Structure 1
């Protein structure tokens, strides 16, 4: 018999949270229902399925879904399940299913939008309740799906806010992500990193806009980058590959000066760490934008400088280097993170190659940076399982944030505002009244 999880309203306080939110498996199951069963969750980008029959698999909480390009040219998000015997229709993470989806068990065929196309030995269904036109015999669609500038989100619940209402002002991150492309569109390119983390999904999400950890967690990587630069001994500008590692070693005063903004529903962003360089690669991108928009509009686009943005509870876009990290909770202490790199359509090829470089140096599981984080996440998970204390502190600059009355909150660059904001949303989703 499943035990009753602790009362939700006792777990989250304005400046701390109870450790059970990270380690209680029953609370995790409740999250799968109340958060991932009701929030808009990122599924994929339309560019991942350019042709009819192309598909991309994803998880929405516990539900395995697949995004498929239909004959109508639109993406369709379907449950990855045959309505006949329940077999999984598509096994690979991505690919092309051909002109229709075919169940590998009994050969039922479906259109790429999920509608039943044909069944073998059809005469055996005569004088039964089977009806080819009955939606019950088609692949089930998710309750709601919407696309925002090519980014596809889905919601399992029938009722709730529209995608644009859900995103609110965090939409500016996705707008800027695309506006940086001279053609106004982006596409997934360069493959994907898939990283298994031995920790609760919320630990990763909280760390994205945690500015007090880099100089501690990444100390060895920073020292290695500085040592390599000194070893070169030429006194020139630090190479880009070293600069994006060494930047984690900035002092607390630097981080305190960054912009920190949070929104209702758990979304947030932090200001950019790296000042846009004036190297030939950056200037080439700027010139490509100016050729389309002119200097004034280009300046407006490039002046939006954000490092990590959080679209709670499922993804984190990085506009400056065209990265997107997707969070797939699997168990209370196990999380799959997928990292995608995007190409800006119309931008010079070397600009895309720099994004690939950033992905390999910062977001690769074999980089000098990410393993530090994964190790710390696992240590947090292990530490929370002990009797060393019941509460997790979120006290830094608590009560100092400023709200505008319209769901936007600002705090100091070292503030734990984003974490408190996420748990405010967590409590709203998880509450009985929800």
Structure 2
């Protein structure tokens, strides 16, 4: 039968490699503490100078909007005080979920003015990126084992670009968090039983139960929230049918026939939940005035089109001129050297190459979702007219997992080669000793 575990992989979990739970918890707490320190320390780094242009704009908008007094007002696009367009910011192409979270957190803390609401946004930005560290551990543990999860979390905790972005009140860390959350739920669906649970994974496929519907609903919620943070998060939607397909391939033919209608229904429900989440958290993408007024807002659509034209080099937009002569390797170079730091960058791409080799060797089931999505998203952003380094932020957690897997794969392979060499040496020594003893006995005789 097909399984998600290939024992030929040196990085595959075995019982002898299990980490003690208390040690895992202790190490994870240490990693989380280090990650929190790096993200929350120096929150007022610019000393109220508002040096980041995108952050400055979001600060202006956040300090201008106001909470609604009733629910109906929230969906009233033309009159809502939460709509940036009603406060003079008619060209607003960011997601509104981070904006709303920051404004309401500012109301709760009494920090809603231009001079302090950006600090609220920075704290939230650091918080969601801190949670990504935990998601990295859980995702890698689910795909591989605790060792890989721990090392991947440690790698992500010290990555340069995520730490930098955690100190900015922008939408990028929010988007990365919700995309990673969606990816985690997709992994849960694709993997099924936890890695290393051989008794369950070798059971008769006909007894496999359909993945819980809750995973599909949670994926839809995370997807909708990601898109409500940044419209470029839409492609993460393809992960869910791919994960479902990986699960479906593990079934017996009879179970494939029996389960596909239910799985298709789950996918449809996830799509519905994602739309409802987007409707709730990006309300002014629609005309309103009520919840069911779901006709697209023409002004919002025009703003998105204008922004795409500016970022794509289709119009004479001064900030975009700098990208005219950038090589196709620009994004890769900046990610590897500056975004991750050269040591981790090398480890990540070495792991990516090793994973591709494993897939080529037909050990693809455990790796294809992680490897395929990382490669596809990286290629998509690298080929954009505007290959800004932060646009690759959603794959940094995945590259941390790939790097950690690669380390343990190399460690397992190296240990196997070392053990084989030692075994050959010992056998050679024993053979020589026996030959000498045999020769000595013959001589005495």
Normalising by structure 2, report the TM-score.
Answer: 0.24
* TM-score normalised over the length of structure 1: 0.24
Query: Hey, which of these two has a bigger chunk of strand by percent?
Result: 1
Structure with max Cα Rg: 2
